[in-house]
Structure 1
Amino acid sequence: LVIEDIQPDKILSFLIALKSLPRLFSLDIRTMHIMGNLNDIYRLIFELATLKYNKLYLYGNECSISIPLATGKQLSTIEYLEIVHYYTFDELSDLISYTPKLRHLNLSHINQDDSTIETMSPINLENLTSISMYTNYINFDEFETFIQNIYSELKTLHVTFSYQDITFLDAYRWEKLILQYLSQLKKFSLKYYDNGHSMYSGERTQFNSSFWIERKLIMNVEINEYKILYLVSPYRKRWYEDKNSTVDYLESTQLTINYVFDGEPADFLFMYIKSILNRVQIYHLDIQRKISIDRLMQIIHLLPDLITLKINSLAFYRSFFNEEFPTTCSIEHASKIKKVYIENTQAIEEVYFLLHVCPHMEFLNLQCLHGKTIELFLRDILNKINKNLRLLCIYVSKADDNMIKRLSTMIDNGKLLSNYTIHRELNNIYLRWK
């Protein structure tokens, strides 16, 4: 049952009426109205005899809870509790004293002025296996205190922090916390939003140590318009891997750029990248927006260890704010790139440019140009290939087996390649040669 925008003067009578429903298992209340004190609301929710899932979402409204600790006769059947409103840790302790069967706890919006975490009472929840938390008001030490006071066999922990405390990226602190207090943990993810303005002169984060590699957890980074997101999560297969690929977790960190500042000064973008490089080494670059060639080379200029490059599409206009690019340094960095993916190929010149600036490219993945036959498109590429390119993947929306035969005939008749194989996987045509 989902209830939205219920009035404060109606919610109590509504909750009382819900007691008459014999099979109410799920209750989701969302409102923008100020509720003030939540004592009676939670008291009535906990009295719902069959409830398994409860969510109370107050859209950031400040509120208070002074509910007493539960007694034996007041216990709730709730197994999944989602709290999306302000609370202190003392209030949280009191609330979940009513939910001994709790298995999943989802928390958001801790109070900014919560001074109770240091004196937080221990919470015993023997059934609790999963915690998800979002907050922008506690530092790592306070979060550590919270975890130390949760007595349960946690198997899943997903946390998101916006508070500017670089300790959240201290892999050794996380390793120590997990080994000492979360020994049963099977699933873990960490999101840390950084404003990119903080200075950092310490050593690079060590989320590539054996502890993290054994758990197949890696760090990736995203740049948005005004934020940097550091993400530690399970490794997922990427576009440049096939079934025979071996994952190198030591060189797996990817930077995804969601905002390229095209047509405007890119000072923030460059500042973000430099800030990131102070903390982690970048080996893979994914640019989610159309980008000019000069802006692309400006970015590559800052990233000396790139192995793969994925871009949405290239634009061949030059920025009004352009410096003299490409530089010798950017050309040197681009020459190390071995695998390239163009999601939306709009001109053959994009392919020529990338083949030129990435002379050691071994794998090229791209989309066939609209309005151009696959035969002409492939011929144009093969006439420009460098000596290192050995694998080509072209997406063609109408690919079929007859197309593979035609391409093979064209390659043989034109003597474009020798000792090659060509096959289709759905709409992707793979051409490999030695």
Structure 2
Amino acid sequence: MHLSKKQRMSNIEYSQVGFMTNQIRGKLYKLSSLNNAFLFIIIQIATYDDKKMITSLENLSNDLLYEIFDYLDGGEIYKAFSNLNRCFQTLITSPSLLLNIDLRLQSENLSHYRSTCIVTPNRHRITSLSFSHGSLYQSGLAFCNIDALFIRLESLILDNIKSQQLLPLLARLISLPRLFSLSIYYSDHRSEITNIYQASFNLPVLTHYKLQCSSLESSIPLLTTGKHKFSSIRYLVVGHCCSLDDLIAIVSCTPQLSRLTCHEVNRSRTDIAKHVYNTIMSLTKIFITRCYAEFNEMETFLTKIASQVKVLHWNCFRDVTYLDATRWERIISKNLLHLNLFKFQFSINIDENPNSTGSHENRIDFNSLFWTKRIRDFRIYLDIDSLQKNIIVVSVNSFRKVRDSILSNQNESIRCSPIDQLDVLNITSGVLHESFFSRVGIMLNEIQITCLNIMRRNILVETLVNLVKCLPNLRVLIILSLLLKDLKYSNLKKTTNFHLASTQNQITKINLKDINSLNELEILLDLCPHIEYLEVNSNNTVPPETIVRFILIEKAKSISNLSLICLQIPLENVDIVNKLKNILEIEQSFYNVTIKQNSDKIYLRLNSL
């Protein structure tokens, strides 16, 4: 779409223009391109002189305009301001204006135009350049044209590039004096990855490097440090699968490495314990998205190569020895003395045979003094049907003050240690086989879960019963809401599962976040006969007086241990205390009840008559 000068000028908007300091300052609030036709620029300017207003964009200082243009693509700048007037023509062709050019996702004609009319004549002004395999042919600009004339090029992004184009280009990039950042999205033969690393490591001033590959293969031809010189890279992203010995070979070529991010690490193909490694003293941050290497191998990597690490984010799978808290404590206290942020997550696939994952002894014991002083957030959660997989995740986030949760008891907190708490994030709405819950119970046997927090709405009663049955150490139950469906409760109550769950559990505290019928409450009270504390969020469907009448009149004999009820009420229900007192005076109750209100909560203290 072609715009006239007048139209292009009207498409540049700026507001809140005033003076508050003698030196003009600008803040860019929003920049966007709409239909590739125009740009919106909203600026705020300030000085002490509030009597003056800027009414023309040309009156802004060049420094401020350069700062604004720094947020824009160079092609868009030329499109909006080229031949607009003499002032802007001088500005956009000035050597002081540095350009960021992105030729990806461009039409063939536009890509060709910007390559020949913007990139080529302005090579000495380009600081950032992005190409893709498609734009390479559409533009007619060959990679071989990226040469020493790009004297200010600092960042280069190569997307969907083939090896026959990439390797010759990497050889020519050595001549660029300011190429600090290189990102490669590679989509060709995996056998060339070693050559790509070696060529990239030869770039003299490179500090930020990312190589991403879509291949699902887990190994690459082993990189050896003796074939090339060490790299100046400080920030490295390994965006592909690799074995641990491959990763070690890569980072061994980067002695100045400060931050390492790796997409996936698999088991080593060689015995890495037999080798001698140099510690990378500058390596302080490590992020591993998926780790399938064994704990023994990763311990060698951490203690021999990355012992100076300060931030460690680690997502592990398969090897359950990662859950050995005592071992982690030993590694951290003896070898990782500088560690101050440790985020660790271990995922167990429930559908796998739990006995195939290794020994289940001495794990998930994060209750020691060492951990309680350091853990900020510990979480064990169950995610059923997570990306078509059923997983249990153990998550540790330290080192900060330990948190407690979750039930309130008047002015005191009934604390539930997060180390013993299982959160159910997602669970299927269908009926699960009993063998599934048996596997969950086996996997969590050593943890001794005492608090079950079901965060998914409308959990089936049958599912709740099975969860309670497989977690015999429960003391606290938190439920968002129950789903009765076409349940015949009298039949469910007669089942073996319900009988075992209700007689074996030790639940004394229940929090029901959302109640839709008294049947839900009846099921919970029958399932948990040892209940001492009950918290319910009442509503218009099941008002608080209905709940109190049901509990204290109809169910009193079967819940003799109940001593405190907390009812969450709407704030507008100001007369509820009087209503409850009237009910208790009229109805025959087995309790002497003390009622107190604290904001939107009503507390009923029960004392047997």
Shift of 1:356: 4.0
Given the alignment of the two structures, is residue 310 of structure 1 paired with residue 478 of structure 2, yes or no? yes
Does structure 1 conserve the Cα–Cα contact (< 8 Å) formed by 2:577 and 2:595?
no
Q: Aligned with 2:406: secondary structure?
A: coil
TM-score under structure 1 length normalisation: 0.77
Matched residue, 2:380? 220
| Partners of 1:155 and 1:186 within 8 A in 2 | yes
Percent identity of paired positions between Structure 1 and Structure 2? 23
RMSD: 4.0
Question: Which whole-Å CA distance do the structure 1 matches of 2:246 and 2:347 have between them?
Answer: 26
- Separation in 2, partners of 1:404, 1:69: 78
Which of 430, 455, 458 is the equivalent residue of 1:262?
A: 430
The 1:194–1:418 alpha-carbon spacing in structure 2 relative to 1, beyond 3 Å, is closer
Structure 1: runs of 5 or more not aligned? 424-428
Residue aligning to 2:601: 430
1:353 maps to which residue? 523
Distance 2:441 2:265 in 1: 30
Secondary structure of the structure 2 residue equivalent to 1:240: strand
Moved more, 54-63 or 280-289: 54-63
Distance 2:168 2:510 in 1: 61
1:41 aligned counterpart, secondary structure:
helix
> How far apart are 1:281 and its partner, in Å?
0.8
Segment of structure 1 superposing worse, 220-229 or 296-305: 220-229
Count of matched residue pairs: 411
1:186 paired with 2:340, answer yes
Give the aligned partner of residue 102 of structure 1.
257
- 1:339 paired residue number: 509
Q: Summarize the alignment of residues 167-316 of structure 1 with structure 2, pairs less than 5 Å apart.
A: 167-196=321-350, 197-199=353-355, 203-205=361-363, 206-216=365-375, 218=378, 220-222=380-382, 224=384, 225-234=389-398, 235-240=402-407, 245=413, 249=417, 252-257=419-424, 258-259=426-427, 262-277=430-445, 279-289=446-456, 290-316=458-484
TM-score, normalized by length of structure 2?
A: 0.57
Go from structure 1 to structure 2 and tell me whether the alpha carbon gap of 1:219 and 1:314 turns closer, same or farther (over 3 Å shift). Answer: closer
- Contact 2:514–2:536 (CA<8 Å) still a contact in 1? no
CA 1:31 to 1:233, structure 2 compared with 1: closer, same or farther past 3 Å? Answer: same
Tell me, yes or no, if the aligned pair for 1:89 and 1:120 is still in contact at 8 Å.
no
CA distance in 1, matches of 2:290, 2:204: 31
Q: Show the counterpart of 1:92.
A: 247
Unaligned runs of 5+ in 2: 1-129, 131-156, 553-560, 586-592
Matched residue SS, 1:296: helix
- Choose which of 338, 359, 362 in structure 1 pairs with 2:533: 362
Instruction: Give the structure 2 partner of residue 66 of structure 1.
Output: 223
Identify which range, 90-99 or 265-274, moves more after superposition.
90-99
Q: Distance in 1 between matches of 2:578 and 2:188?
A: 70
2:313 alignment partner, SS class: strand
Match of 2:150 in 1: none
Q: Which residue of 1 aligns with 2:501?
A: 330
Change (3 A) 1:158 1:348: same
CA distance in 2, matches of 1:412, 1:52: 73
Q: What aligned pairs does 1:7-46 form with structure 2 within 5 A after superposition?
A: 7-12=162-167, 29-30=184-185, 33-43=188-198, 45-46=200-201
Query: What letter is aligned with 1:109?
Result: E
CA distance in 2 between counterparts of 1:3 and 1:89 reads 26
Secondary structure of 1:38's aligned partner = helix
Structure 1 residues 312, 99: closer, same or farther in 2, change over 3 A? same
By relative contact order (CA 8 Å, sep 6+), the higher-ranking structure is: 1
C-alpha distance in structure 2 between counterparts of 1:388 and 1:187, whole Å = 43
| Counterpart check, 1:378 vs 2:547 | no
**Separation in structure 1 between the aligned mates of residue 277 and residue 340 of structure 2, nearest angstrom:** 23
Among candidates 270, 276, 280, match of residue 115 of structure 1? 270
Larger radius of gyration: 2
How far has the Cα of 1:157 moved from its partner?
2.3
Q: Aligned in 2, Cα 1:405/1:44: closer, same or farther, shift over 3 Å?
A: farther
Cα distance in structure 2, aligned partners of 1:24 and 1:153: 25
- Offset at 1:420? 0.3
